[in-house]
Amino acid sequence: PEQAARMKKLQEQEKRQKVEFRKRMEQEVSQFIQASGEPRRRFQPMNKIERSILHDVAEVAGLTSFSFGDDEDSRYVMVFKKEFAPSDEELEAYRRGEEWDPARAEERRRLRELAAQQEEAELESGPTPPGPPNDYKDKYRHLIGSEAAKAAARTMEANKAYGCVPVANKRDTRSIEEAMNEIRAKKRLRQAEDE
């Protein structure tokens, strides 16, 4: 009984701490919402339960939140205002443990575009890759002939109703209703004969 009472007391204390922590987080989040020049806020590292409480508070307040950090001791939560929701690049930077610098990201993006344009230009103006030293068709002419393939290519024609069965190829041209009526009539006939 003494142990049970102690456990109950501990649980109540834990519950009280969670409620207090939630209140504190709600205050911090509402301060963050009112701070006009602050698009995001990084919170101190906290344990899993505290992080889940903070995520919940953020969600209720209509904010976006993410956890970052590799090990359990250093994981922290970042809260973003909806209009400043992070891009994938920004999230990746935080996941790598880097600070996000929009100017640097823009520079990186511009450099990537530039590199892609240069690569494209090189491909367009570059020399065509050299072909095989001898034409393989000459090598196999005795097998394929010179006219056979061209003639075959000319005679091949695409099926106009590819994937659909043309009406002309269908054996049964009745509608479903007609077919069902015929089946019912045969059934009635059979029943009449059996009686």
Domains of the chain: 1-99 (3.30.1370.50), 159-190 (no CATH)
List per-residue pLDDT tens for the chain, 195 residues long.
788 999 999 999 999 999 999 999 999 999 988 888 888 888 999 999 999 999 999 999 988 899 988 888 888 999 998 888 888 888 888 888 777 776 777 788 888 888 888 888 887 776 655 555 566 667 777 676 666 556 655 655 555 556 666 666 667 777 888 889 999 999 999 999 988
- Mapped onto helix, strand or coil, the DSSP state of residue 79 is strand
pLDDT of amino acid 148: 58
Q: Positive or negative CA dihedral for 61, 66, 67, 68?
A: negative
Task: Report which residue type is found at 164.
Answer: C
pLDDT of amino acid 112: 85
* Cβ atoms < 10 Å from Cβ of 170: 9
pLDDT of amino acid 176: 83
pLDDT of amino acid 157: 58
Helix, strand counts (H, E) of the chain: 8, 3
Distance CA 161, CA 156 (A): 15
* Cβ atoms < 10 Å from Cβ of 54: 24
